[in-house]
């Protein structure tokens, strides 16, 4: 990850799009300061939440923030749930730690949270173990735990990738409802541009650890500026647009350990110029609120 910057308003949803290894997940882990050490390190920059810099917090302060203010939903619900404890026990632990709820009040609150993510007969579900629930139900439990705070920021990292289509649609609808109710901001990591079109206000496209383009969803989908974004949108099959061949992107995603000098997309870019191979393009705005990193959009000096 290199020089990633973005800001998020209250109740806003930012989509973070990119291929595997583009830095989407690292960006999320950096926000909650959970990057795997010592392999990765946050070497510079600042992360602000409600005006407080998260990079100067102590580890214990950070843990409280992760418990209350920032919540995460990951792709595989079983990476968030412990298979040997009942749903009720797992939900009560953070409620005791961060909200001081114990006994009957904790059970009541846990059941209320399950009800708010529309899990039927929540009292019975509290006694269930994760393996007794379907994938969609498990992800709902993770959702219920995530909104316990309630959080100011919810980071959802491919939350529906392991779910079936109709269950995915239900879950996305549920997340939007919870967001409207609790006014949290959301960072939505996905490689599915269709989900971005449906759920996000703004979108940031990442390539090889950098945000190469960022802007409002409609603008980015109708007037993509970066050749990577354009190629990505053109390479995806669409309903009814019966085309013989899809516009494929040549080459392979780059090896992050051996990034080319200059723009990382240059070796695959159809519009590549000499300058792209030597100098990394600066961030430029095409219109207010829509930025890109591409020499095509840098006004000639």
Partner 1 sequence: MSPRPDAIARNGTPLLEARELTKHFAVRRGALGWSTAVVRAVDNVSFTIEAGTTLGLVGESGCGKTTTSRLILGLERPTTGVIRFEGRDVHALGRAGEREYRRFVQAVFQDPYASLDPRMRVGAIVAEPLVINSDLGAAGRRRRVAELLELVGLPDRATTLYPHEFSGGQRQRIAIARALALSPRLIVLDEPVSALDVSIRAQVLNLLTDLQKRLGVSYLFIAHDLAAVGHMSHTIAVMYLGRIVEVGEADAVALQPQHPYTRALFAAAMPLDLDAPREAITLTGEVPSPLTPPPGCRFHPRCPFAMDRCAVEVPALRTEAGRLVACHLY
CB of 226 to partner 1, least distance (A): 13
Does residue number 134 form part of the binding site for partner 1 (CB under 8 A)? yes
Question: What span, in angstroms and rounded, lies between the C-alpha atoms of 125 and 121?
Answer: 7
Stretch that binds partner 1, among 3-11, 123-131, 146-154, 189-197 (CB under 8 A): 189-197
CB of 268 to partner 1, least distance (A): 8
Does residue number 170 form part of the binding site for partner 1 (CB under 8 A)? yes
Does residue number 167 form part of the binding site for partner 1 (CB under 8 A)? yes
Does residue number 222 form part of the binding site for partner 1 (CB under 8 A)? yes
Stretch that binds partner 1, among 48-56, 84-92, 166-174, 291-299 (CB under 8 A): 166-174
Does residue number 197 form part of the binding site for partner 1 (CB under 8 A)? yes
Q: Yes or no: say if 80 and 159 are a contact pair by the CB < 8 Å rule.
A: no
Q: What angle do CA 273, 277, 283 make, to 5 degrees?
A: 85
CB of 125 to partner 1, least distance (A): 14
By CB under 8 A, name the one of 67, 150, 253, 260 that touches partner 1. Answer: 253
Does residue number 19 form part of the binding site for partner 1 (CB under 8 A)? yes
Neighbours of 183 (CB within 10 A): 10
Does residue number 236 form part of the binding site for partner 1 (CB under 8 A)? yes
Does residue number 56 form part of the binding site for partner 1 (CB under 8 A)? no
Does residue number 191 form part of the binding site for partner 1 (CB under 8 A)? yes
By CB under 8 A, name the one of 52, 53, 61, 164 that touches partner 1. Answer: 164
Residue among 245, 259, 204, 244 at smallest CA distance from 228: 204
3-state SS string over the chain? CCCCCCCCCCCCEEEEECCCCCCHHHHHHHHCCCCCCCCCCCCCCCCEECCEEHHHCCHHHHHHHHHHCEEEECCCHHHCCCCCCCHHHHHHHHHHHHHCCCHHHHHHHHHHHHHHCCCCCHHHHHCCCHHHCCHHHHHHHHHHHHCCCCCCEEEEECCCCCCCHHHHHHHHHHHHHHHHHHCCEEEEEECCHHHHHHHCCEEEEEECCEEEEEEEHHHHHHCCCCHHHHHHHHHCCCCCCCCCCCCCCCCCCCCHHHCCCCCCCHHHCCCCCHHHHHCCCCEEEEECCEEEECHHHCCCC
Does residue number 237 form part of the binding site for partner 1 (CB under 8 A)? yes
Query: Which residues in the 271-290 window bind partner 1 by CB under 8 A?
Result: none
By CB under 8 A, name the one of 58, 60, 79, 252 that touches partner 1. Answer: 252
Does residue number 132 form part of the binding site for partner 1 (CB under 8 A)? no
CB of 127 to partner 1, least distance (A): 19
By CB under 8 A, name the one of 136, 159, 227, 262 that touches partner 1. Answer: 136
By CB under 8 A, name the one of 9, 45, 48, 173 that touches partner 1. Answer: 173
Residues that bind partner 1 (CB under 8 A): 19-20, 134, 136-137, 164-170, 173, 191-195, 197-198, 217-218, 221-222, 231-233, 235-240, 242-250, 252-253, 268
């Amino acid at each position: 990850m290199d020089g990633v910057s973005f800001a998020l308003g209250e109740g806003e949803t930012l989509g973070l799009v990119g291929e595997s290894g583009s830095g989407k997940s690292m960006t999320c882990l950096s926000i909650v300061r959970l990057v795997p050490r010592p392999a990765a390190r946050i070497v510079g920059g600042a992360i602000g939440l409600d005006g407080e810099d998260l990079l100067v917090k102590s580890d214990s302060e950070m843990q409280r923030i992760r418990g209350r203010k920032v919540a995460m939903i990951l792709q595989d619900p079983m990476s968030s749930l412990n298979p040997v404890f009942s749903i009720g026990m797992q939900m009560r632990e953070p409620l005791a730690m961060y909200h001081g709820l114990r006994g009957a009040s904790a059970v009541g609150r846990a059941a209320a949270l399950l009800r708010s993510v529309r899990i039927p007969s929540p009292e019975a579900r509290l006694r269930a173990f994760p393996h007794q629930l379907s994938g969609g139900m498990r992800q709902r439990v993770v959702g219920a735990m995530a909104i316990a705070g309630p959080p100011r920021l919810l980071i959802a990292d491919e939350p529906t990738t392991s779910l079936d289509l109709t269950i995915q649609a239900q879950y996305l609808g549920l997340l939007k409802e919870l967001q409207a109710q609790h006014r949290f901001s959301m960072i939505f990591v996905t490689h599915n541009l269709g989900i971005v079109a449906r759920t996000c206000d703004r979108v940031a496209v990442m390539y090889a650890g950098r945000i190469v383009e960022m802007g409002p969803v409609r603008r980015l989908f109708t007037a993509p500026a970066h050749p990577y974004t354009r190629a990505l949108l053109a390479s995806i099959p669409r309903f009814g647009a019966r085309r013989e061949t899809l516009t494929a992107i040549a080459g392979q995603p780059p090896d992050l350990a051996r990034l080319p000098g200059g723009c990382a997309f240059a070796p695959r870019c159809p519009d590549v110029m000499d300058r792209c191979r030597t100098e990394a393009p600066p961030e430029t705005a095409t219109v207010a609120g829509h930025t890109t990193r591409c020499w095509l959009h840098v006004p000639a000096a």
